[in-house]
């Protein structure tokens, strides 16, 4: 079978935001800053730094402004610092710090939308419309992420037509990138490809990115399936950190180290130094007092110690 893979893949490391938001402990700002510095040193060019949500609901992100202030003196023009914003209040708080990109989010599941942000899918899109417009007016990129594209903890399997619909709505309000997220990690390769095909009704392949959780060990397989369709940007999380506080049973994101190892083994460039990436994962895992969730990290660490 002759498949044309992309020559280069962009990695968006989401560990500072999506990776840490589900931790029970509050991670100090200085530790988050060190994690971001380590990721950039490893070659990461795009990352989710934080989110401007209410600390009442996600206390782990309560230092959002302080973190961006701490990063400001060393911010690099070739690094895209993204922040997630849920509404205009969040945008107004974020804009002070001039993020390079804002992330808005919808769900392909009506029930998940209600449980997560207390409104319907259509209501959520209407809520995000002024946020996207305000960002674009100030020259800030807008990325839309669709959660529960393959399965939902409340509704079960999701019809791909729902993904097509939410893609259409997000594109209409100005999203320049659409993230296809398997929030609870129940996807398998053919299901992921069907979802991507549905999104392609309203978005070019260059606009689509993949965000896969590894609950059932399918994240790398799903990444490969997306690559086969021409997707060239993926959200990953160093050391496999992450989950979703509103999706019971959702385990970590696919580990950045594992995805980079696979891509490099396929001859696809990422611009990332794998050894430095492993070190970044080791440091944050040690602070959290947990095992590194990357298979590649385990192998390289054992090789280093032997």
Question: Chain-wide mean pLDDT for the chain?
Answer: 94
Q: pTM for this one? A: 0.95
Distance CA 225, CA 66 (A): 39
pLDDT tens by residue, 80-103: 999 999 999 999 999 999 999 999
What is the DSSP secondary-structure string of 165-183? HHHHHHHHTT-SEEEEEET
The answer to whether 278 and 257 are in contact (CB under 8 A) is: yes
Distance CA 241, CA 20 (A): 7
Assess whether pLDDT exceeds 60 at residue 124. yes
> Would you call 244 a catalytic residue per the annotation?
yes
The answer to whether 3 and 226 are in contact (CB under 8 A) is: no
Distance CA 106, CA 112 (A): 10
**For the residues 190-203, what does the mean pLDDT come to?**
98
DSSP for residue 252: P
Tell me, what's the pLDDT at 243? 59
Tell me, what's the pLDDT at 298? 86
> Residue 198: which H helix or E strand, with range?
helix 189-199
pLDDT tens by residue, 29-82: 999 999 999 999 999 999 999 999 988 889 999 999 999 999 999 999 999 999
């Amino acid at each position: 079978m002759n498949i044309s893979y992309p020559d280069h893949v962009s990695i968006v490391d989401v560990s500072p935001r999506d990776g840490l938001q589900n931790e029970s402990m509050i991670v100090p700002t200085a530790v988050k800053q060190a994690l971001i510095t380590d990721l950039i040193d490893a070659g990461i060019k795009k990352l989710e730094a934080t989110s401007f949500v209410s600390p009442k609901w996600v206390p782990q992100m309560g230092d959002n402004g302080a973190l961006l202030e701490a990063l400001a003196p060393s911010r690099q023009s070739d690094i895209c610092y993204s922040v997630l914003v849920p509404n205009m209040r969040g945008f107004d708080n974020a804009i002070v710090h001039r993020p390079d990109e804002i992330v808005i989010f919808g769900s392909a599941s009506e029930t998940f939308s209600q449980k997560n942000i207390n409104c319907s899918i259509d209501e959520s899109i209407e809520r995000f419309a002024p946020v996207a417009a305000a960002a674009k007016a100030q020259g800030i990129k807008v990325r839309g992420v669709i959660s529960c594209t393959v399965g939902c903890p409340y509704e079960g399997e999701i019809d791909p037509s729902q993904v097509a619909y939410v893609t259409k709505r997000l594109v209409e309000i100005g999203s320049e990138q659409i993230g296809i997220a398997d929030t609870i990690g129940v996807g398998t390769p053919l299901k992921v490809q069907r979802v991507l095909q549905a999104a392609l009704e309203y978005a070019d392949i260059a606009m689509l990115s993949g965000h896969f959780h590894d609950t059932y060990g399918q994240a790398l397989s799903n990444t490969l399936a997306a690559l086969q369709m021409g997707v060239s940007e993926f959200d990953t999380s160093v050391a496999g950190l992450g989950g979703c506080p509103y999706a019971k049973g959702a385990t970590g994101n696919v580990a950045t180290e594992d995805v980079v190892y696979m891509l490099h083994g396929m001859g696809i460039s990422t611009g990332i130094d794998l050894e430095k990436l492993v070190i970044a994962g080791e440091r944050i895992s040690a602070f959290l007092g947990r095992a590194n969730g990357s298979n590649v990290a385990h192998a390289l660490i054992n090789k280093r110690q032997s």
